[in-house]
Amino acid sequence: MAITGVLRPGHVQLRVLDLEEGVHHYRDVLGLVETGRDASGRVYLKAWDERDHHSVVLRQADEAGIDFFGFKVLDAATLDRLEKDLQAYGVQTSRIPAGDLLETGERVRFGIPSGHQIELYWEKTDVGNGQPYVNPEPWTDQSENGIAPIRLDHCLLYGPDIEKVKDIFVDVLGFYLVEHVVMEDGQTDLAVWLSCSMKAHDIAFVRHPEPGKLHHTSFLLESWEKVLRAADIMSMNKVSIDIGPTRHGITRGTTIYAFDPSGNRFETFCGGYQSYPDWQPIKWTWEEVGTGIFYHDRVLNERFLSVVS
């Protein structure tokens, strides 16, 4: 297999302070499709062009943030193999039974040194994108309902010990380093962007003293014109925009950062390059981190390094 192992980010469970307010945001403003609610009250959503049952799960809680981030792997054998590889590497894992998340098989969960819970799974029901698999149209009405991203794309997590986190993702899970920012010493990583695919990032980490923090979950748009449309829709709905539309130097994507009503930052972005594992990683120096993060402003805004959930 040319693509094997870990395929892609498959779901994120987010905590929101008020469930219906959160559902309104993710379904009606961001424009995800609600696909189910479970007995514990969690709400399941997916981007219109995703095929699997859900990619975002909302849980009401007293504090915003991320519960876990899950990756779909190729098949059952891969799941078993990666579980053993993690354990052999010294990472404790646990199995969560099938059905704990709606329409989803057994998951292997493990904590990483940055304080986040990561999951692997291989089964989730294919509910399609609203078009048949025979002679489909290229898009549907749903693709214009709210911001309407194509997919959950990646997340950026904040926490300590990101060099250990990187090693787990690279050495055990088969990711590769695409870009990184080094600190004043020219060596220590401030931030790493990691890919298990041709995406410039499937997950990214920034060094941060507090463990388990979420900087943002990210959703993919189809064009720079859709980025403008997203910013307009945010303004029409009084969504709090952090920055954008602008471009990242790192990964080259065009982007908006904004906050959901609970204070979880999310990104709607487009573009950037596609990468391969034989490519040399790109390095950003401490002096140019501003340009790397926000290519047009060329300085970090005060919130980028401090506001997380």
Between CA 289 and CA 49 the distance in angstroms is: 33
Residue closer to a copy of itself by CB (options 49, 60) is 49
Residue 91 CB, nearest distance to a copy of itself (Å)? 17
Residue closer to a copy of itself by CB (options 22, 253) is 253
Contact residues for a copy of itself, defined by CB under 8 A: 1-8, 49, 51, 72, 74, 126, 133-139, 144, 150, 173-176, 196-199, 222-225, 228, 231-232, 234-236, 241, 244-247, 249, 252, 254, 256, 271, 273-274, 276-285, 288, 291-292, 295-298
The CA distances from residue 101 to 144, 155, 261, 288, 304, in Å, are 28, 20, 24, 42, 32
Given 216, 222, 225, 273, which residue is catalytic? 216
The single-letter code of the amino acid at 189 is: D
- 112, 68 contact by CB (below 8 A): no
Catalytic (active site) residue 158: no
- 156, 215 contact by CB (below 8 A): yes
Residue 197 CB, nearest distance to a copy of itself (Å)? 6
Given 54, 116, 201, 208, which residue is catalytic? 201
Residue closer to a copy of itself by CB (options 97, 133) is 133
Rounded-to-10 torsion of CA 249, 65, 115, 95: -120
What three-state secondary structure class fits 9? strand
Residue closer to a copy of itself by CB (options 212, 244) is 244
Taking only Cα atoms into account, the Rg of the chain, rounded to an integer number of angstroms, comes to 18
Catalytic (active site) residue 180: no
Tokens of 5: 């192992």
Residue 174 CB, nearest distance to a copy of itself (Å)? 4
* Widest distance between CA atoms in the chain: 56
Residue 142 CB, nearest distance to a copy of itself (Å)? 12
CB count in 10 Å sphere of residue 64 = 20
Catalytic (active site) residue 222: no
Given 154, 180, 208, 215, which residue is catalytic? 154
Between CA 231 and CA 280 the distance in angstroms is: 34
Residue closer to a copy of itself by CB (options 39, 236) is 236
Catalytic (active site) residue 216: yes
Catalytic (active site) residue 116: no
Residue 173 CB, nearest distance to a copy of itself (Å)? 7
CB count in 10 Å sphere of residue 238 = 9
Residue 51 CB, nearest distance to a copy of itself (Å)? 6
Find, among 225, 237, 207, 258, the residue nearest to 28 by Cα: 237
Find, among 90, 102, 81, the residue nearest to 11 by Cα: 102
Catalytic (active site) residue 248: yes
Please state whether beta strands 117-121 and 65-73 pair in parallel, antiparallel, or not at all (unpaired): parallel
Active-site positions read 154, 201, 216, 248, 257, 267
